[in-house]
Structure 1
Amino acid sequence: MMKKIILTVLLAFSALSLHAEESKPVHILLTTSMGDIKMELYPDKAPKSVTNFSNYVKAKHYDGLVFHRVIKGFMIQAGGFNEYMSPREPSGRPVRNEAYNGLKNVRGSVAMARTNDPDSAMAQFFINSVDNHFLDRSGQNAGYTVFGKVTEGMDVVDKISAVPTGQVGPYGDVPRKPIHIVSARIIGDE
């Protein structure tokens, strides 16, 4: 009887430890040609989005890509194109929208980019440079999934947000001088 109680307690503790490990924030270092941006991701609030983003980081998908869409007073977006505006195709499946998680599109928040289909987010992401509450889920608006925030480097986000932009082929709001993501790494995951 005592062995059964001890085993039950150990199994419960293991399950709690595993859940606690899964819900710990994930820390990302985004090294860009304009400086470093550190981000903290929240798997307890947006587990599918954090897992998806982390998998792209581990696969080095973001290395060598650029911030391809920059709108001053709105956001900076990356994750899909190189400096020639050639797409780097995502390798995963679309992620189900998690905009119902309580996190808001405020200055410094990191969110998944998507098409008009709420469940179409893949590799592209954006960092809000101002509060963008109209991107939050409300009423019929499916919202954009916030899955993290910038913890260091908002000065870099602001510098990127202020660069001159123009048209490249069919794409607008493209920085005139490419802003590269040199590397994206999970901090502590060496």
Structure 2
Amino acid sequence: MKNYITKILACLFISSTLFNGVYAKMNPKVIIETSKGNIEIELYQTEAPETVKNFINYASSGFYNDTIFHRVIKGFMIQGGGLTEDMQNKETDKPIKNEATNGLSNKEEL
């Protein structure tokens, strides 16, 4: 189960780099498997290229295995991946460029 997301992300990343035209412009979707059910997220490569690359690198390496969501704000966001189940910090790579001013919203569009 833990390797499932890694395999999906690796396939999405490889396929997104192989195709041109219409296929290159599509936003890959990723399924995060949790103990409470699956979460599907869409990765916006054009609007947040560094963030997408960073997320894929972490996921492909297995970094997120056995981590928790440590902050949840209903209707806004969930935050996780930096702490283990026993609340130990995980060592991260150096920070990336903040892409928060790219026009994307954290709120789900209905």
Same topology, TM > 0.5? yes
Q: Deviations over 1:100-120 (max 9, x none)?
A: 211123137xxxxxxxxxxxx
Letter of the 2:90 counterpart: R
Percent of aligned positions with the same letter in both sequences? Answer: 43
Aligned to 2:105: 104
- Gap regions ≥5 residues in structure 2: 1-18
Superposed displacement of residue 44, structure 1:
0.8
Q: CA deviation at 1:24?
A: 2.8
Aligned to 1:61: 63
Distance in 2 between residues matched to 1:107 and 1:97, nearest whole Å: 21
* CA deviation string 1:51-83 (max 9, x = no partner): 000111111111110111234454321110011
Structure 1: state its 5+ residue gaps.
Answer: 1-15, 109-190
Q: Is the 8 A contact 1:27 1:38 kept in 2?
A: yes
1:87 CA displacement: 0.9
Cα–Cα, structure 1 residues 32 and 44, in superposed 2: closer, same or farther, change >3 Å? same
Q: TM-score, length-normalised on structure 2?
A: 0.70
Task: Work out whether residues 68 and 80 of structure 2, in 8 Å CA contact, stay in contact via their aligned partners in 1.
Answer: yes
For the aligned residue pairs, the C-alpha RMSD in angstroms reads 2.3
Relative contact order, higher structure (CA 8 A, sep 6+): 1
What are the equivalent positions in structure 2 for 1:108-187 lying under 5 Å apart? none
Tell me how many residue pairs correspond in the alignment. 91
Whose helix proportion is higher, 1 or 2? Answer: 2
